[in-house]
Structure 1
Amino acid sequence: MRKWIIMREKTLFYPNPDNIWVGSLASLSIAIFAWGTYTFTSKVWAPRLWYGLESFYSSIVPESIIVILITLSLYCSTIKRQALRILSPTIVIISLYILIDATFFFLGRLPRISDISSFSGLLESAPHLAITGSLLTAGTLVLSSVLLSKNIKGDRHAGSTQKNIFRVLAACTILLTLNPSIISPYIIKRHSSEAKTVQLNGRISSFLYYKSTEDQYQKLFEEISGDAQSWPETQLFPGEIHSLRNIHYIVLESFIDPRLIKGTQFKTSPLAPALSDLLDGATFSRTLSPVYGGGTAQAEFELLVGLPALAQIGSIDFNVLGGKPMKSFVSSLNEQGYEAFATIATSSIYFNSRNAYKSIGFGSVDFLEETKSFRKNPNDVQIFDGDLLRYNLSKVSHRLESHAKPFINYVLGMYGHIPFRRNLKDRPDRIEVNTNIEAIKKISNQFYYRTDALANYIRELQRLDPESIIYITSDHLPALPTGSSIYSLDERMNISLLFENSKLQDLEPIEFYKIPWNIWARLTKKPIMDEPKKSSLEKEYIKQLAKSRGI
């Protein structure tokens, strides 16, 4: 009997090829249970419980693969304490989850390997995250290293070679699964929002995917940068600004004039009387967006940087920007003594926006969905342009009263986004249009209320800041319900308004990236269309993207 008990203890607590797989299965079951519970209940990336369930369901394939492989790779059969042996992989996984969630809580994004090299800056901007992240990272690395070391050195029994081979294969599988160019296009569900990508794929798999993508960018930039050094230097935004006038730069989501939709007839004009009076018989100018139907960040890139958004590295240039300084229209204004601040009618989760705005040169950015001083109308799904512009006016008024430095005031709206949701309680139908297409009815009534709010904003800006430059544009056309053929202009042609010294200016149809050059010319008193050739700007585009990543 005593001999049987001793043999039983050895079976439970010492390596034995007969029970290693049972222990691995127990460890794996606990890890999967912990992962599922954490994903379902955590509200960091998914603010509502339903989203937690959706996140758990969507991420089953990519994340469960990673969790299983990490667990089996780190399961250490040589640890004598059964509880520690089974729980160790789960501790590593949950520690990684907490680290990823802490980064999102403080920075609104996934952690980056490059955060290690910029630790001093992180310590200054988010000290709690820097300290917590350091401790978690160090603890996770130490525990993982100990487990792997014990696994490789401690297995002295039959089957150890096979298990070590399995661990190497598991690590390779993780890397291959999340490599953007190999398997991930078929597994990873990509989204413009990092938060949504995490909801759809899971935390660790999303982190590894973005890390792999970042490595690809880095490699590509290093290859290109060698050639770029020999390219002729293009001077972006040369000359000195003698007239330090404030600039108000307003970009409205899908701001389409329904009168340009073919076949539409209205009993009353959808253009609000207030804006009609302000235009005094004039019409909107027209400018060419780089995108149609979506991709706001590409329009922003051209308007804020002054270079063509070519999407040569990724489909969205904002996603490539790494947070390091680059040359842009905004940064060039900063060099001339301006301050740059932005008011954004969304949260910071879209299109790598925190890094992008930082690279471009903004010192202050208010994301209204994260701004406590802003109260969103509970009846609106997207923040109404009028509420956005009223909030921005209060910021502008405060700046002007404080006699601060000249500034560029950038505003990005989101109200006109598909599917054109409306708040009928506060803004009932005012415009009747001869169509059965519901989307066009919504667009027409939205346009009425948007142009009314815009007129009030322009008049108040002109009262507060009469010598300023005011530029207003749509980011792109929405995807029209029966296709772009029902639009009477080119699908990339958008409406815009330019005011200088409180007077409406006629703007010839030009591409978005030329708008900053046009405004720069007005500030420096240079010829209006004196910008470099597009071919030289295309080369500069590569250089500046590389600079934003510290290359």
Structure 2
Amino acid sequence: MIDYLKGAFTYLLVMFLIVTLYTELSHYWSTIGGVRGDLVKFEIPLVLLLLFIFYFPTINNRIIRYLFPVVPVLVLYLSVDIFYGFLGRSPRPSDFQNINMVSDFSVGLMFLIFFLGFLICFPVVMLFYKAYQNRSFKDIIYSVLFRVLSVSLVLFVFLSDTFADYRASSYQYTEWSQEKSIKENGRFSSFIFYGYQEKKNFSLLNEYGKKNIDIKEILFPNIVRHPRNIHIVVLESFIDPRLLLNINFNRSPLANELISYLLPASYNFSHVISPVYGGNTAQAEFELLTGM
């Protein structure tokens, strides 16, 4: 028992150092990198708890025993860094609905997703293979059952509404900066937080969708006496070429018919980030038209 506890302590210490080192060094390639004090409150304990489930003291090879469990975590961290680099926000559960659309605009990016998925699965398979290659069938069943139940329990707790409410109340949320929020709380913690916020928003939309609500009277009671029509042109096939950096034009890239509809290039433009990519245009249109 003493040897098991010593081995487990060494294992968790190595995992802690590797995860912390990656988090600190990642600021060289990602703006959400760097170690912050709040990471030790939730993010790192969560990661260590998940990693402990994949602790196999019977594996003699120390490289496999200590490094293979942490590889999937590092790959997931790197995936969040790549995602944030592309879209400038934390990933959310609904983003998985768009994975099959990635190949429509980037075959290379789709290949990268498959490669990262392989890097996540391969170490886990090797861990189980090395741990159980000389074990009896009964021991394998007990061990696998214990780990499956442990993972299920962790997921049940962390995905429950009660825990989500607690986490939302303690999350160091910066409304104007997801970058700062992710830095302060961690990648997994932010995924859980924004996923819960997304779930709550969907629930509210479904609830309000079943009611006959006059949104104008709720937001502006007795104020808008003479409603006016506002025309919004949503054109996916057009971008303003004047916004492209490091490109010079020998003449105006805009057709004369468009100039009267666009602000002069000297204006300070406002920008929005689309909630989806590769399809599902209606989601972006809905947010634009409703302001939600």
Normalised to the residue count of structure 1, the TM-score between the two structures is 0.38
Out of 172, 197, 200, the residue aligned to residue 181 of structure 2 is 197
1:89 equivalent to 2:80? Answer no
CA distance in 1, matches of 2:242, 2:5: 50
CA change 1:211–1:127 in 2 (3 A) is farther
For 1:333, the equivalent position in structure 2 comes to 233
CA contact (8 A) 2:89 2:179 kept: yes
CA contact (8 A) 1:58 1:200 kept: yes
For 1:409, the equivalent position in structure 2 comes to 262
CA change 1:34–1:409 in 2 (3 A) is farther
CA contact (8 A) 2:16 2:44 kept: yes
CA contact (8 A) 2:171 2:193 kept: no
CA contact (8 A) 1:59 1:201 kept: yes
CA contact (8 A) 1:75 1:85 kept: yes
TM-aligned CA deviation for residue 30 of structure 1: 1.9
CA change 1:20–1:155 in 2 (3 A) is farther
CA contact (8 A) 1:27 1:87 kept: no
Aligned counterparts, 1:149-298, within 5 A: 156=139, 166-175=150-159, 180-227=164-211
CA contact (8 A) 1:178 1:184 kept: no
1:46 equivalent to 2:46? Answer no
CA change 1:404–1:544 in 2 (3 A) is same
CA change 1:40–1:98 in 2 (3 A) is same
CA contact (8 A) 2:12 2:48 kept: yes
* CA-based RMSD: 4.8
TM-aligned CA deviation for residue 139 of structure 1: 3.7
TM-aligned CA deviation for residue 545 of structure 1: 4.5
Q: Secondary structure at the match of 2:256?
A: coil
Aligned residues with identical type, % of pairs: 18
CA contact (8 A) 1:123 1:130 kept: yes
TM-aligned CA deviation for residue 125 of structure 1: 3.9
Q: Secondary structure at the match of 2:56?
A: coil
CA change 1:209–1:89 in 2 (3 A) is farther
CA contact (8 A) 2:102 2:110 kept: yes
1:75 equivalent to 2:60? Answer no
CA contact (8 A) 1:39 1:56 kept: no
TM-aligned CA deviation for residue 205 of structure 1: 1.2
CA distance in 2, matches of 1:141, 1:308: 53
1:105 equivalent to 2:89? Answer no
TM-aligned CA deviation for residue 176 of structure 1: 5.2
Q: Secondary structure at the match of 2:89?
A: coil
CA change 1:211–1:192 in 2 (3 A) is same
1:398 equivalent to 2:258? Answer no
Larger strand share, 1 or 2: 1
Q: Give structure 1 stretches of 5+ with no counterpart.
A: 1-16, 235-306, 311-327, 340-360, 375-393, 413-456, 459-471, 473-542
TM-aligned CA deviation for residue 179 of structure 1: 5.0
CA change 1:213–1:138 in 2 (3 A) is farther
1:135 equivalent to 2:10? Answer no
For 2:7, the equivalent position in structure 1 comes to 23
Task: After superposition, give the CA deviation of every residue in 1:450-484 in whole Å (9 maximum; x if it has no partner).
Answer: xxxxxxx69xxxxxxxxxxxxx9xxxxxxxxxxxx
Aligned counterparts, 1:291-306, within 5 A: none
CA distance in 2, matches of 1:168, 1:41: 32
For 2:37, the equivalent position in structure 1 comes to 57
For 2:246, the equivalent position in structure 1 comes to 373
Highest relative contact order (Cα 8 Å, sep 6+), 1 or 2? 2
The amino acid across from 1:398 in the alignment is: S
CA distance in 2, matches of 1:411, 1:213: 38
TM-aligned CA deviation for residue 70 of structure 1: 1.7
CA distance in 2, matches of 1:162, 1:72: 12
Q: Secondary structure at the match of 1:110?
A: coil
Q: Secondary structure at the match of 1:184?
A: helix
CA change 1:123–1:139 in 2 (3 A) is same
For 1:364, the equivalent position in structure 2 comes to 239
CA contact (8 A) 2:39 2:186 kept: yes
CA change 1:118–1:168 in 2 (3 A) is closer
CA contact (8 A) 1:99 1:137 kept: no
CA distance in 2, matches of 1:25, 1:363: 57
Normalised to the residue count of structure 2, the TM-score between the two structures is 0.65
CA contact (8 A) 2:65 2:127 kept: no
TM-aligned CA deviation for residue 170 of structure 1: 3.5
Task: After superposition, give the CA deviation of every residue in 1:401-432 in whole Å (9 maximum; x if it has no partner).
Answer: x33546753699xxxxxxxxxxxxxxxxxxxx
Q: Give structure 2 stretches of 5+ with no counterpart.
A: 220-228, 269-284
CA contact (8 A) 1:110 1:207 kept: yes
